[in-house]
Amino acid sequence: MEENERALAIRCQFLNEEDPVVLDSRFVQALLLFRQGKFEEAEKIHRRVLESREKLLGNEHSDTLISLNDLAVVLNNQGKHEEAKKINRRVLEVDERVLGKEHPSTLTTLNNLGLILNDQGKSEEAERVFRRVVEVRKRVLGKNHPHLTVTIHNLASIMYKKGKDHPNTLLTCEYLAYLYQTRKQYHKASILYQRACVGYLKARGPIHRDSKRCFNYYKTMLDEMSQQNETSENQTEPDDNSLSSMISEGHRFLERFNFPPTRIESVDSEEDMEQDQREDTASSG
């Protein structure tokens, strides 16, 4: 922070306050203040930068839209949800018109709108927004993109409020576990798989295809972990979450619920899991 302020002071000695270089430095200053929790100071600087960028660059320039987006985030963190939502929708309208509805920047703005709606207590609207972002990000960015995981986390937090055993909550939890599995983040995946498995048993019973599928996915991951543990000494998790201990704990979990060591049936495809989620969404809507 101090280094940035020194650099800003030097630039202000030689450049006009509305010079793009100075404005960029001011913008970074606001970001640093925000990270320190100094929201009011960050808001003042963001507004100053925004005013200059609108005058110099226009209302639809990418830098202006970035300033608007970050101002909305600061306002939302201060509880000024209505103003934040108004600004966010303004940015979203421009993003969709100029960049397109599936552009990464548009999806980021839409994801931020979901966060604002959720903070306002409008969980149903937020859920619809997050589902839209998940669907597009999955198709455009790929199923393993980190931005997709962020949105699924946001969606999962809403679904969790509906109840741990709500079908949509369990499907979201299961899919997030699958994403962590594909990235070999086995500790996070194990926690989510176990949560989903227990939830399915309570909500669906042991012979329902959702319960079987989830247990099978978890068993498949344990097999994958065992194979990796045998062929490599490189650990992808911290020492206290080593592969061997997670594998042992996972098998104890399966035995506790009498899950057989062989598959009950072939694992449903990922498309079947997504179809189940669409059906549950339609039935609960």
pLDDT tens, 34-77? 999 999 999 999 999 999 999 999 999 999 999 999 999 999 99
What the block records as the tokens of 128 is 């619809």
Report which residue type is found at 261. P
pLDDT in tens, 163-205: 656 777 788 888 888 888 888 889 988 988 998 898 888 888 8
Contact call for residues 200 and 210 (beta carbons, < 8 A): yes
Task: Give percent of the chain with pLDDT exceeding 90.
Answer: 38
What the block records as the tokens of 243 is 């592969």
What the block records as the tokens of 195 is 């949560």
Q: Which residues contact 154 (CB under 8 A, 6 or more apart)?
A: 111, 114, 115, 118, 126, 130
**How far separated are the first and last CA of the chain, in Å rounded?**
48
pLDDT in tens, 240-261: 458 888 889 988 888 888 775 4
Handedness of CA 266, 271, 273, 276 (dihedral sign): negative
pLDDT for the residue numbered 169: 77
Distance between CA atoms of residues 283 and 173, nearest Å: 19
CB atoms within 10 A of CB 175: 23
The pLDDT confidence band at residue 126, using thresholds 50, 70 and 90, is very high
Span 116-142, mean pLDDT?
Answer: 91
CB atoms within 10 A of CB 111: 19
Give which of 36, 39, 40, 70 is closest to 53, Cα–Cα. 70
Segment among 1-5, 83-87, 197-201 with least mean pLDDT = 1-5
Query: Is-above-0.85 flag for pTM?
Result: no
Contact call for residues 205 and 165 (beta carbons, < 8 A): no
Distance between CA atoms of residues 45 and 28, nearest Å: 10
pLDDT for the residue numbered 234: 52
The pLDDT confidence band at residue 106, using thresholds 50, 70 and 90, is very high
Of the ranges 15-29, 88-102, 132-146, the best mean pLDDT one: 88-102
Distance between CA atoms of residues 174 and 202, nearest Å: 15
What the block records as the tokens of 251 is 């098998």
Asked if the model's pLDDT at residue 114 lies above 90, the reply is yes
